């Protein structure tokens, strides 16, 4: 893993949260995107070298809707940039981590993504991200 790629924050309203974070960072999101397969709308903010992703559920069955129902708004995941996502999946599986989706899937912001089960990572959902080339 090379660096933290972004921190994902689950929000009830992307519109209201965009306004809040725009005030916080002094600039609007640089990108908004819907990932239909995951039932989520996202926006991305840059703050120096750091990226924040806001996530709003688009249907009540999406992982974000379930997270909000259970835990409320807040940090949903920490994403790490990796050079070779398939190699990392094998390495982490061999280390005993539970991989939620062993086959990388297309996520937001032109990334392939894989998630590690939070029960094996001290309650934190970990996302691995690789830029799609």
Give the mean model confidence (pLDDT) for residues 26-42.
96
| Phi, psi of 95, deg, nearest 5 | -80, -5
- Measured distance CA(72)–CA(45) in Å, rounded: 21
E strand or H helix that includes residue 68? helix 63-71
pTM of the prediction? 0.93
β partners of residue 57: 40
Q: What is the pLDDT of residues 74-121, one digit of tens each?
A: 999 999 999 999 999 999 999 999 999 999 999 999 999 999 999 999
125-131 and 105-107 as β-strands: parallel, antiparallel, unpaired? unpaired
E strand or H helix that includes residue 76? strand 74-81
Q: What six digits make up the tokens of 111?
A: 């990334």
């Amino acid at each position: 893993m090379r660096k933290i790629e972004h921190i994902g924050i689950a929000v009830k309203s992307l519109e209201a949260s965009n306004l809040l974070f725009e005030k916080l960072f002094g600039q609007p999101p640089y990108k908004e995107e819907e990932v239909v397969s995951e039932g989520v709308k996202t926006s991305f903010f840059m703050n120096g070298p750091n990226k924040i992703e806001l996530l709003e559920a688009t249907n009540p069955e999406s992982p974000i809707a379930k997270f909000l129902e259970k835990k409320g708004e807040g940090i949903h995941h920490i994403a790490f940039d990796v050079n070779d996502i398939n190699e990392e999946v094998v390495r982490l599986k061999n280390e005993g981590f539970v991989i939620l989706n062993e086959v990388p899937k297309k996520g937001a912001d032109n990334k392939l993504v894989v998630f590690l089960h939070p029960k094996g990572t001290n309650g934190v959902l970990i996302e691995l991200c690789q830029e799609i080339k």
